[in-house]
Amino acid sequence: MQRPPTTIMPLIASLLALLILGSAAQAQDPARHGGALLKEFCSSCHAIGKTGNSPMPGAPPFRELGRSFDFDQFPRLLQRGISSGHPAMPEFKFSDDDARAATAYLRSIQQ
């Protein structure tokens, strides 16, 4: 029988440790996790930071959403799937945790 490749064991162990640490960091800082999600899914059209214009003209910068949205309702909106009725905007659906995290981030950048 072949011996297990012991050299890759430490590598696997450290990868696992990174994964665990990574998800712990997410749990501790939902706003940061939310920011990363919005960056991935929304930043091609929306400005997601405290400054800057949206890449797509007509897509409201996220820091101004507080003017038209009640953030207490926002997680539910993200979970149900947000659709502005604008054909350019794809339909998104967030999990409960992700919706809460994204909303925490949005709250943190409002003007």
Binding site for ligand HEC (CB under 6 A): 38, 41-42, 44-46, 56, 58-60, 65, 68, 82, 84, 86, 88-90, 92
Q: Indicate the residue among 14 and 84 with the shorter CB distance to ligand HEC.
A: 84
Distance from first CA to last CA of the chain, Å, rounded? Answer: 65
Shortest reach from residue 30's CB to ligand HEC, in Å: 15
Give the residue among 52, 66, 58, 59 at the shortest CA–CA distance from 105: 66
Whether 26 and 35 have beta carbons less than 8 Å apart is answered as: no
Shortest reach from residue 15's CB to ligand HEC, in Å: 29
Shortest reach from residue 108's CB to ligand HEC, in Å: 15
Distance of CA 66 to the CA centre of its chain: 17
Give the residue among 52, 76, 73, 75 at the shortest CA–CA distance from 62: 52
Q: Indicate the residue among 29 and 69 with the shorter CB distance to ligand HEC.
A: 69
Shortest reach from residue 44's CB to ligand HEC, in Å: 5
Length of the chain: 111
